[in-house]
Amino acid sequence: MDGDGSPATTAGNAVCVTGSTGYIGSSLVGALLRRGYRVHAAARDIGKASQILSTFGSKDQLRIFRADLNEEGSFDEAVKGCMGVFHVAASMEFNTSVEENIDDHVKSEILQPAIRGAINVLQACWRAGSVKRVVFTSSISTITAKDSNGEWKTTVDESSITPTHQVWREKSNGWVYVLSKLLTEEEAFKFAKEKGIDLVSIIPPTVAGPFLTPTVPASVQVLLSPITGDPLLYPILASVYCRLGSISLVHIEDICDAHIFLMENKAAKDRYLCSVGSYSMPQLADLLSSEYPSFDSERFRKEFHDSIPSEISSNRLSDLGYKSRYNVNDIVKQSISYCRECGFLKCPEVEK
Residues with catalytic function: 181
Q: How many CB atoms are closer than 10 A to CB 150?
A: 8
Beta bridge partners of 215: none
**In 135-149, which positions are buried (b, 16+ CB within 10 angstroms) versus exposed (e)?**
bbbbbbbbbbbbeee
Please list the alpha-helical segments (H only) found in the chain: 23-34, 46-53, 76-79, 102-106, 112-128, 164-170, 175-195, 218-223, 225-228, 234-244, 252-264, 281-291, 298-303, 315-319, 328-341, 348-351
Answer for the pair 115, 131: CB distance below 8 angstroms, yes or no: no
Q: State how far the Cα of 282 lies from the Cα of 73, in Å rounded to an integer.
A: 48
Q: What is the DSSP letter of 146?
A: B
When computed from its CA atoms, the radius of gyration of the chain, rounded to whole angstroms, is 20
Answer for the pair 202, 258: CB distance below 8 angstroms, yes or no: yes
Q: What is the DSSP letter of 215?
A: S
Contacts of range 3-7, beta carbons closer than 8 Å, 24 or more positions apart: 3/266, 4/266, 5/265, 5/266, 5/267, 6/264, 6/265, 7/264, 7/265
Distances (CA, A) of 288 to 127, 228, 325: 48, 11, 20
